[in-house]
Amino acid sequence: MPEQPLKPIELFLIEDNPADVVLFWHVLAESGMKVKVHLAMDGEQALQMLTEPHFVPSLIVLDLNIPKIPGLSLLERWSTKTPVVVFSSSTNEREKQRVLALGAREFVLKSSDLYEFSELVCGMVRRWAA
């Protein structure tokens, strides 16, 4: 069985923190995985992109604390067959339970440690998109 699909994984990153976005891109570029990252910086832009009929990402990585439409509201308003992983710095257990109840496959706590951040990002992609 081949390890890499021929066409790249279409990853939809919904994240408003420029530092996290750059780090995310860097980690994926270094990983050797074929991943094309689509980016939305707020919930409104994300919703707009998700309603495009030709846009079918393999994985959605969602930060909860985003402007315009917060991540939780986005999950409440929009359902998808595409796996959604919440990647957040929130340590609120209730929020975590709510996210999973709304259909997110996983809740991943962001790490400030570069190596750990890298492991988390690559793990999410391998588990849910590959």
User: 61 near 11, Cβ under 8 Å?
Assistant: yes
Give pLDDT, residue 7.
Answer: 83
pLDDT of residue 114: 93
Give the pairing type, strands 59-62 and 84-88: parallel
Question: Tokens 């069985």 correspond to what residue?
Answer: 1
Cα dist. 74→49, 87, 89, 120 in Å? 12, 14, 17, 23
Band of residue 127 on the pLDDT scale cut at 50, 70, 90: very high
Q: Tens digits of per-residue pLDDT, 81-100?
A: 899 999 999 999 999 999 99
